[in-house]
Amino acid sequence: MLIHQAHLLDGRIVDIRVSTEIDEVAERLTPRLGEDTFDAAGGTVIPGLHDHHVHLRAAAAARDSVQVGPALVHNRTELADVLAHAPVGEDGWIRAVGYHESAAGPLDRQLLDELTPAVPVRIQHRSGVLWYLNSAGLAAVGLPDHPDGRLRSYDNWSDAVARRDTSLAAISRRLLRYGVTGVTDATPNLGADDIVTLTEEHRHGFLHQRVHWLAPGKRILHDDSLDLDELADWIRATHRENRAVALHCVTAGQLVVTLAALRAAGVHPGDRIEHAAVVPADSLAELADIGVLVVTQPNFVAERGDQYLIDVEPHDQPALWRLASLLDAGVRVALSTDLPFGDADPWASMRAAVHRATKTGAVVNGSECVTPTTALTLFTGHADRPDVPRTIDAGQPGDLCVLSAAPAEVLDALDGELVTATVVAGHLHPVNALSER
């Protein structure tokens, strides 16, 4: 297809011929016989956005789950009321997501038995790494004697829960509306069958984005089971299979042990640290020296920053969700949303990277702000080289995001409402034709 009058971020206005890759970029190109055309009308065209850390199946399942986050639930009575009126899925479970202790305090099986219906109930913590099950739920997964009903997300118990048959079509359409042309699925236990399913959904047109995945080299770390030698051995074994590792680090302890393990085992070019939610100042130079990529989510500053200001000691707050200091230290960085544990809108994540503002307008770590151009660029990396931006040049992938405004307005607003069309592998998806259903 041919896109006319595309305004590039560098100020040029060009025509772009695109198929599976960008074929030509010139000041003026003549349409070929039968070629589809689209008039950008001077609006900005950028490389399609790539969200470098999402969980597709969890995102689809979350659409059919009960929301019990602190924005909707404020005490135990409200939590009990929400669960009492929650629909029971075809699998026999009530599935709730987004929970945080600030909503109704710590949860365990005893409390859930008091609050929940006499059917299996599982509630996911908003971090995504923990589930709370009532006694009926524990019996259903073969753990009737479990002491507290707090189970890690990707442990073996989850195999006993039938996966809900959820289509990715609605999630895919939503991402197209934001100009997202590719995603990296960071689910740690994706098996061959899961990857085949994702590939088939893409082939049949339910999932439009190109999909990259981290499994089987993704690993979630937990503070209560950190073992430097074991982690270094696992990294070595993964590298021997010529696979990179992706290590989930959300605490300072997890990051320190990860860096020591990478130092001991050596680094594969594709190795990544996911999240890096807390980065002590003395870890910045080591991150840069080791050369590992950090994929982080500034959107959590906007989404959860007010709670951070309550829960995190003031002297620890400068280490939260660093960005500018990572880049200044020479660390390789890319951005993502962590959908569905973060909001799916990459433009909101960019705004958070630029302004560091919470929902109430407080600023968390203003020294970590970056420019709009930097924030946007960190969402345009290659799937396998997230810190290497794609460009609007011949030979680049044929994935584009078309916006209705000139570059200055796009960079000033960083607003997904400006997206008018998304192009994936040369196929045009006008935003006004995409429903949310």
Tens of pLDDT, residues 321-368: 999 999 999 999 999 999 999 999 999 999 999 999 999 999 999 999
**Is it the case that residue 191 has pLDDT exceeding 80?**
no
Q: Are 420 and 431 a contacting pair, CB within 8 Å?
A: yes
Q: What is the pLDDT of residue 436?
A: 55
Superfamily of domain 49-55+167-389: Metal-dependent hydrolases (3.20.20.140)
Q: What is the pLDDT of residue 41?
A: 96
Look up the CATH number of domain 65-160.
3.10.310.70
Q: Out of 2-11, 87-96, 153-162, 335-344, which region has the weakest mean confidence (pLDDT)?
A: 153-162
- For the chain, give the mean pLDDT: 95
Output the CA torsion sign for 239, 243, 244, 248. Answer: negative
Q: What is the pLDDT of residue 434?
A: 81
The structural architecture, per CATH, of the domain 1-47+392-437 is Roll (2.30)
Q: Domains of the chain: which residue ranges?
A: 1-47+392-437, 49-55+167-389, 65-160
Cα–Cα distance between 167 and 188 in angstroms, integer? Answer: 20
Biggest CA–CA distance in the chain, Å, is: 72
Q: What is the pLDDT of residue 159?
A: 84
Tens of pLDDT, residues 39-57: 999 999 999 999 999 999 9
Residues 6 or more apart whose CB falls under 8 angstroms from that of 173 comprise 208, 434, 435, 436
Q: What is the pLDDT of residue 435?
A: 63
Q: What are the helix (H) ranges across 2-147?
A: 56-63, 76-84, 101-104, 109-115, 135-140
Tens of pLDDT, residues 273-302: 999 999 999 999 999 999 999 999 999 999
**Is it the case that residue 164 has pLDDT exceeding 90?**
no
pLDDT band for position 176 (cuts 50, 70, 90): very high
Q: Is 404 left (phi over 0), alpha (psi -120 to 50) or beta?
A: alpha
Element (H, E) at 413: helix 407-413
Tens of pLDDT, residues 99-155: 999 999 999 999 999 999 899 999 999 999 999 999 999 999 999 999 999 999 988
Residues 6 or more apart whose CB falls under 8 angstroms from that of 404 comprise 41, 43, 418, 419, 420
Name the percent of the chain lying above pLDDT 90: 89
pLDDT band for position 166 (cuts 50, 70, 90): confident
Q: What is the pLDDT of residue 161?
A: 87
- pTM for the whole structure: 0.95
